Amino acid sequence: MPALLAALLLGGAPMPAAIGPVERPNVLVILADDHRYDALGFLGHPFLKTPHLDALAARGAHCANAVVTTSLCSPSRASILTGLYAHTHGVTDNYNPPADGLVWFPKHLQAAGYETAFVGKWHMGDTDAPQPGFDHWISFRGQGTYFPDGRGTSRKVPQNSDGMLNVNGTQAPQRGYITDELTDLALDWLGKRQGERPWLMYLSHKAVHSDFVPADRHRGTYADAPWSPPPSFHPTDAPTGARPRWLRDQRNSRHGVGFAYNLPQSGENAAGGNVADENAFDLAAYHRRYCEAILALDETTGRLTDWLEESGQAENTIVVYLGDNGFQFGEQGLIDKRTAYAASVRIPLLVRWPAAIPAGSTVEQTVASIDLAPTLLDACGVPWPEDTPCDGRSFLPLLKGEAAEWREAVLYEYLWEWNYPHTPTTHAVIGERWKYVRYHGVWDTDELFDRHADPHETVNLIADPAHQETVTRLRAELFALLAETGGETLPLKPDRGVSFPWRRPDGPPPGAFPARFDVPSEPPAASVPAWVRGVETAEPSPP
């Protein structure tokens, strides 16, 4: 097997003869890691160029408001593959394995006659073993590694593995840069297929997961590119509501700009000023490295779409490009993901299918990661099995530009992790206009954002008297969504891995207690909202 891998990397994937058209579409899913929604050239990024992803959007549909239902690698990947919320599929962190018997949607395609292949990052449990539903399998343990010799990183990433690949049950060494190599292996399988059965290729990239390492050919491309802190870099209170205390606390943590990854801090935006350390964390430089690592994702996506054209299969192949979650670069004073804020939950979602989807179209409705599996089965003419649960729904009519009813809102959930204790258990209702965020198990304030008027989520409206009816309605809708999908209890999994509870003694100070909870012992009834006084109020049923 190593000889095969070496041959692939030295000579590239073989180009097949054109395969005749099939009645059912082929499916190519390209899943990126931590690719945030706006890191695309056609959306006006200040310096990142993504011509191949731009072309994919121009020739298909851009789902402009796509979100994940859990912004964390393993739970999100499980939701994409099952169509289920995390509380349903049970994968709630990056360490504990999925339950036996969980069904991945490729198994349904496989049963319907599709040839199926998985290439890349699995990252559910400490395994790289072949999974049910895939005829062909190539993966690695945990996070994998960008280069087998580990070069280019500034820190040790938890769950990074040793550069070995599991190829249909046989161990083989990784030879080169992981984004290129996974693409080579995907093209090799596609090029060697025989017959006219429809196929699914699920290409699951490591990139662009931190610690970001670009390909050697891209290193330094954006070294001099400008970067400015986002509008929410310094969260501020407003008369309509304070920002949560946990948010201010997290600024001085592994996932905050004041002690990012628990490294020495450098750069003009770090608390404490510049630090003379070659491994110091500089948020601007980190963002540039992120963008440089995306360049290989863009190039290899172009290689795959070029192959489809040259093999005569482009017309009837559904190509999906999406991220498993977003990534924060200073939004709300944070890095990483996990939160319900926009930079964390919003993802790129591009879908091209020339035979059915109008080129250059935009889907404005809020579609979610749990919707991809039922959408692909719908497009392939494969009914969702009645004995298999599904929380998502097909958005194929939206992709085709057809008039169709759509959900009012989608549920977001994140469960507190022992490994990263600075983000609380979070539930949110994300609708077309409103986002209501409820924090569980902490004495803190919740949040309400107007997504239209405040896209950067800088003003918390939770205490605004004008919006109390909206708060009440969305809180009721949150619990209705949990009840409908069996999410009224919280799963508790064993603590695994390493915990990072550290703070800098000289870093950003802790947050103050939410001022809106400070009320006189006998407040005038008219001056305090009913829900603050503790008076029971009728809660309307969600629409």
- 352 with 318: CB under 8 angstroms? yes
How far is it, in rounded angstroms, from Cα 40 to Cα 42? 6
- Model pLDDT, residue 83: 98
- 381 with 406: CB under 8 angstroms? no
Element holding 117 (H helix, E strand): strand 115-121
Q: What is the pLDDT along the chain (543 residues), one digit of tens a residue?
A: 334 343 333 333 333 333 333 489 999 999 999 999 999 999 999 999 999 999 999 999 999 999 999 999 999 999 999 999 999 999 999 999 999 999 999 999 999 999 999 999 999 988 999 999 999 999 999 999 999 998 888 777 887 778 899 999 999 999 999 999 999 999 999 999 998 899 999 999 999 999 999 999 999 999 999 999 999 999 999 999 899 999 999 999 999 999 999 998 875 444 444 444 666 899 999 999 999 999 999 999 999 999 999 999 999 999 999 999 999 999 999 999 999 999 999 999 999 999 999 999 999 999 999 999 999 999 999 999 999 999 999 999 999 999 999 999 999 999 999 999 999 999 999 999 999 999 999 999 999 999 999 999 999 999 999 999 999 999 999 999 999 999 999 988 999 999 999 999 999 999 988 887 887 666 555 555 555 555 444 455 544
Q: Residue 274's Cα: distance from chain center in Å?
A: 32
- 125 with 105: CB under 8 angstroms? no
pTM of the model: 0.91
The amino acid present at 234, given as its one-letter code, is H
Report H helices in 431-541: 468-484, 530-533
Q: Residue 262's Cα: distance from chain center in Å?
A: 23
- For 168, other C-beta atoms within 10 Å of its C-beta total 12
- Model pLDDT, residue 23: 82
CATH 3.40.720.10 matches 26-269+281-408: yes
- 366 with 67: CB under 8 angstroms? yes
- 308 with 28: CB under 8 angstroms? yes
- Model pLDDT, residue 161: 78
Which residue in the block uniquely carries the two structure tokens 């360490």? 95
How far is it, in rounded angstroms, from Cα 241 to Cα 235? 12
- For 247, other C-beta atoms within 10 Å of its C-beta total 25
- Model pLDDT, residue 534: 52
Q: What is the 3-state secondary structure (H, E, C) of 203-249?
A: EECCCCCCCCCCCHHHCCCCCCCCCCCCCCCCCCCECCECCCHHHHH
Q: Residue 323's Cα: distance from chain center in Å?
A: 5
